[in-house]
């Protein structure tokens, strides 16, 4: 980075630190009503010392500010306000370990929301300045939770986004619980016609009710970044557990929830390049992964994804995608497959701020196994409301998918499936904690097929945790 660029970054950092400091001080009631006139006599009351320390920090004189904070702490070693000021001064003097220790003392002794907010902000700034941006994000979320005013909350949210964008390492956690009428993807039919004869479906092949618990984690590390491009290393884990209802256990005594357990991991390399001439961005991703099902190895896979997004108008964005994947099945080699896909989507922001999106997806899956080899086309429509309704964020979507299998064991004409699905989500924004909120969802899906064995339907409710920012 050039000297001019470094100076610009430092200037921005100083301005942000100063703005955050003033906001926290305002919440603590520390800012003086006006500037302290140099000629005015200094009244060393506790309130006066607090005001003077804030003024000195704002002037860039942390050593002098720390002296006033120490004087306050001599009177009351547990004074949260004085500890916050001392932590800020230590941070400004690059004494990051000491600043963190002091901020933690302030957090431990804080009794009021404004004190907890100030302590959390001081800790976050000390961590971020020391390069520990992932931990800083946690403390900024604590500041969001403790913010005594909307203005203070907005400052913490702004700083969270800034630190997250500057961090080389980012971590995303997803968790959901979903009761469902069909946790195993079984058929809705009990008896099918096979060569003119009735064939009873095995109980564990029919739809079984119960629930699904899923947890996933994705970590990304920024390998390189410039004004025009960025490169990330990505690692992901997923674990899905199933439980069966009492009715399902009675209907299918041989079924075991562990038979439907899914786990997997993947590692990938992501590249994104801005295209100013097109007002868009090009992306490329290379991914390698492994899946286990029912406790046994199921597949290895390698995938390449290419994407292009472009802003056609101020409120209209178009996206295109291409994908190529090789799946190597470890449980049944003949079920290995090569997959090619293409997609296109449009997102439109309406006059009221709501967003509507439509996506078209094509897939060509080639395999020696009749049940895997097929062509598919799907269309999805999504809607997201801009503003919450009585504290509830609303979004919904519906999709239609068709699959065509050239060969099928139960039909000389092959197999044709059509699936209709719909989903609605309610984000309970007023119940957020540290910037995380619960999201309730309901999802319905129905598959029609020319082969009765593959007809299925499911209805499920879901509870997940999502970040607001």
pLDDT in tens, 297-320: 999 999 999 999 999 999 999 999
Residue 184, domain CATH: 2.40.160.40
318 in any annotated domain: yes
Same domain, 194 and 129: no
Nearest in space to 376 (alpha carbons), one of 359, 360, 364: 364
Residue 116 lies in a domain: yes
Give the lowest-confidence range in 184-193, 368-377, 393-402. Answer: 184-193
Pair of tokens at residue 22 = 């003033």
* CATH code of residue 80: 1.25.40.10
Q: Is the pLDDT of residue 386 over 90?
A: yes
- At residue 48, the pLDDT reads 87
In this structure, is residue 4 part of a structural domain? no
Q: Identify whether residues 184 and 100 lie together within a single domain.
A: no
Check whether residue 78 and residue 94 sit in a common domain: yes
Same domain, 53 and 130: yes
Q: Residue 329 to residues 77, 261, 286: CA-CA distances in angstroms?
A: 65, 17, 19
Q: Do residues 106 and 218 both lie within one domain?
A: no
Distance CA 298, CA 259 (A): 12
Does one domain contain both 371 and 305? yes
pLDDT confidence of residue 8: 38
Q: What is the mean pLDDT of residues 68-97?
A: 95
Per the domain annotation, does 315 fall within a domain? yes
pLDDT level of residue 189 (50, 70, 90 thresholds): confident
81 and 217 part of one domain: no
Query: How sure is the predictor about 399, in pLDDT bands with cuts at 50, 70 and 90?
Result: very high
End residue of a domain, out of 120, 146, 166: 166
Residue 224 and residue 131 share a domain = no
Domain boundary among 131, 166, 201: 166
Percent of the chain exceeding pLDDT 90 equals 77
Residue 206 lies in a domain: yes
Domain termination residue (choose one: 146, 166, 186): 166
**Residues 129 and 174 placed together within one structural domain of the fold:** no
Between 6 and 135, the more confident residue is 135
Residue 1 domain-assigned (yes or no): no
Mean pLDDT of 348-364: 96
The model's pTM: 0.81
Q: By mean pLDDT, which of 19-28, 147-156, 361-370, 413-422 is the weakest?
A: 19-28
pLDDT of residue 26: 39
Determine the pLDDT at residue 44: 67
Is the same domain home to 218 and 141? no
Using 50, 70 and 90 to split pLDDT, how confident is the model at 361?
very high
Average pLDDT over residues 329-354: 97
Number of domains in the chain: 2
The verdict on 200 and 261 lying in the same domain is yes
192 pLDDT band (50/70/90 cuts)?
confident
Does 14 or 224 have the greater pLDDT score? 224
Domain containing 108 equals 10-166
Q: Are 247 and 213 in a shared domain? A: yes
Q: Tell me the pLDDT tens digit for each residue of 212-256.
A: 999 999 999 999 999 999 999 999 999 999 999 999 999 999 999
Could you report the per-residue pLDDT of 249-290, keeping only the tens digit for each? 999 999 999 999 999 999 999 999 999 988 899 999 999 999
């Amino acid at each position: 980075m050039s000297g001019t660029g470094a100076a610009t970054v430092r200037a921005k950092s100083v301005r942000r630190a100063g703005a955050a400091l003033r906001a926290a001080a305002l919440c603590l009631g520390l800012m003086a009503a006006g500037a302290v006139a140099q000629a005015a006599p200094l009244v060393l009351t506790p309130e006066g010392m607090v005001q003077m320390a804030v003024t000195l920090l704002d002037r860039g004189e942390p050593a002098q500010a720390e002296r006033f904070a120490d004087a306050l702490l001599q009177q009351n070693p547990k004074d949260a306000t004085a500890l916050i000021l001392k932590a800020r001064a230590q941070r400004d003097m690059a004494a990051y370990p000491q600043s963190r220790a002091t901020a933690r003392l302030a957090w431990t002794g804080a009794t009021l929301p404004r004190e907890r907010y100030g302590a959390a902000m001081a800790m976050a700034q000390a961590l971020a300045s020391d390069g520990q941006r992932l931990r800083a994000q946690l403390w900024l979320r604590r500041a969001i939770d403790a913010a005594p005013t909307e203005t203070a909350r907005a400052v913490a949210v702004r700083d969270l986004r800034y630190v997250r964008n500057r961090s080389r390492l980012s971590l995303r956690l997803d968790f959901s619980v979903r009761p469902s009428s069909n946790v195993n993807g079984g058929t809705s039919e009990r008896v099918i016609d096979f060569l003119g004869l009735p064939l009873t479906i095995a109980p564990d092949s029919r739809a079984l009710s119960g629930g699904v618990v899923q947890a996933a984690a994705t970590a990304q590390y920024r390998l390189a970044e410039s004004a025009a491009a960025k490169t990330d290393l990505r690692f992901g884990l997923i674990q899905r557990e199933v439980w069966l209802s009492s009715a399902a256990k009675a209907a299918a005594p041989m079924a075991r929830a562990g038979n439907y357990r899914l786990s997997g991991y993947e590692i990938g390399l992501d590249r994104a390049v801005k295209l100013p001439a097109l007002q868009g961005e090009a992306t490329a991703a290379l991914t390698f992964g492994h899946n286990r099902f029912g406790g046994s190895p199921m597949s290895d896979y390698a995938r390449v994804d290419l994407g292009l997004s472009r802003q056609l108008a101020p409120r209209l964005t178009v996206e295109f995608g291409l994908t190529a994947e090789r799946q190597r099945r470890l449980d049944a080699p003949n079920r290995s497959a090569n997959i090619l896909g293409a997609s296109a989507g449009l997102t439109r922001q309406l006059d009221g701020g709501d967003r509507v999106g439509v996506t078209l997806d094509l897939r060509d899956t080639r395999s020696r196994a009749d049940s895997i080899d097929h062509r598919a086309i799907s269309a999805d429509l999504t809607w997201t409301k801009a503003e919450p309704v009585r504290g509830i964020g609303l979004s919904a979507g519906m999709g239609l998918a068709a699959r065509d299998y050239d060969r099928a064991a139960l039909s000389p004409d092959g197999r044709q499936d059509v699936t209709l699905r719909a989903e609605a989500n309610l984000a309970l924004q007023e119940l957020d904690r540290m910037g995380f909120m619960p999201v309730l969802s309901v999802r319905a899906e129905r598959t029609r097929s020319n082969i009765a064995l593959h007809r299925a339907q499911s209805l499920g409710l879901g509870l997940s945790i999502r970040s607001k920012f």
